[in-house]
Chains A and B, each alone.
Chain A
């Protein structure tokens, strides 16, 4: 039972509470929505809540990344895939594709929660600023401090990211490419559906 870090001012605590509620509501919505598009929308809501939490922690750049990359690009991809496959109307939840997945998910979730509790060791920053310390410059300094850290100390991880991006592109192309051997009816159907 650690002691709460209650250095936060009242507006900070209120912002934290609102953002936390938004985040958790969104997360529950993702899990509980029947319609995949609604689930994706709820995911956007969660990402926004997290972005607000980042802003509160003075992690300005991360907040922007959260919205630009996650909400602005990755969920768009999710929605495209949902629309691409047409699962938004046809999906039936009665048949479980992976029988044990609920229990595995529950177990992993409990494990994750235990990990968070263990790592935080009772330090709960309920709206207090910048517990992370040195990497975060305050306010507008944040991005330049982060930039300096990223492009000097953490240069290697940054360059390795580019390799990851290359792998992602190649993976996408290989997955999306039609098989070379033509002639089966299935391919023809696929090609026709593609010309809508």
Chain B
């Protein structure tokens, strides 16, 4: 139960170990973000037949560092219509949750240094995976307030979009996590990893039947505002999204948080569905292998994020909302009930499965009814009429203009 580090209360040695853990993870995350930014640029340019960054350091490895240093020397502008306090506060609200989520990820097994046994995991709070949900709901505020406080059109539109998108997919994400909790009977991330460690067949992705993993993956991508869900910063419509007005190091912190969230979400996926640090170990340096497995699995997801960005076009906003609300959430809920029923016995399982199919049919019907109703409403009330009137005016103007042209 919990990290054995705190089994005998908090002394000086325990405090020092905790501080070392936090600082090491912080530093590793920073370096990982730097490498990730480099890797993204390099891989994308390979996929697009370009060379990518190749000047700073070997293979351009130091490019992100150079960019970071450059941003320190850039002028930090504060728009005169901005809400000064909130504008300054927003980067903190984005960055701190990004660092915090990684604390619950188990990186490796337990180690023993100077008679202090501790887990290779920054913290294992009793609320466990709920901590992830709590922080991902808090991180909405970073983008929401950044956009609002800028006092400018595009950031405001971007932030309202972003927050609606993030809360929409948070529900689906929570349901996918609930499926894992259902399988493993625990909230603690360490216990979730331990429950998956028997063999590959015990990994969450197999135990929960793939669907919750796919839902979590899509939802996490949408939470991160990564392509193909990056409408929040759709350049054609919204300039740079909620952080358009941010410059210099404030912008850098948003960027940092974005990439850090990507790494963290990949790590969480590995933890929940792919056994975390689980993998074959060897007698030589036994504590290193779990870490290597963990890093390797996380790397795969990071690569796939880049690949998706290079391959897929952006969704439209209504498609995004439809996918989140009308597909993912009902599917996640239904799947959760089905696996719960199959755990009771097969009769219940098939009964609930049939019930879910019926519910899906009802849902499909209600989607059609909803669309039809909205169409009628739009025609009878202002929306459709206003649009038609505008079109008429436009056509009349065009006709008048072409007549004029013909007369000359």
Contact = CB atoms under 8 A, between A and B. Distances in A.
Q: Do chains A and B touch in the complex (CB under 8 A)?
A: yes
Nearest to A79: B144
B292 to A, nearest CB: 28
Interface in B130-163: 130-131, 133-134, 137-138, 140-141, 144-145, 148, 156, 160, 163
A195 B383 contact: yes
B126 interface: yes
B188 interface: yes
Contact of B167 (A60, A61, A76): A76
Nearest to B144: A79
B391 interface: no
State the majority secondary structure of interface residues on B: helix
Interface string A25-38: 00000000001011
Nearest to A67: B134
Interface in B344-385: 377, 380-383, 385
Contacts of A189: 382
A60 B127 contact: yes
A11 B85 CA distance: 31
B138 A67 contact: yes
A68 B134 contact: yes
Contacts, number: 97
Given A191-B383, A191-B386, A76 B163 contact: yes
Interface residues of A, number: 36
B2 A194 contact: no
Contacts of B140: 72, 76
A182 B134 contact: no
Interface string A17-54: 00000000000000000010110010010000000000
A64 B126 CA distance: 10
A73 B134 contact: no
B248 interface: no
A140 interface: yes
A140 B382 contact: no
Contacts of B144: 76, 79
A178 B381 contact: yes
B10 interface: yes
Interface in A56-109: 60-61, 63-64, 67-68, 71-73, 76, 79-80, 83, 88
Interface string B158-173: 0010010001001000
A95 to B, nearest CB: 24
B187 A68 contact: no
A130 interface: no
Contacts of B1: 139-140
Given A44-B141, A71-B137, A76-B140, A63 B85 contact: no
Given A63-B127, A72-B137, A139-B1, 10 more contacts: A11-B10, A67-B137, A68-B134, A72-B134, A79-B144, A83-B148, A139-B126, A143-B126, A143-B127, A188-B381
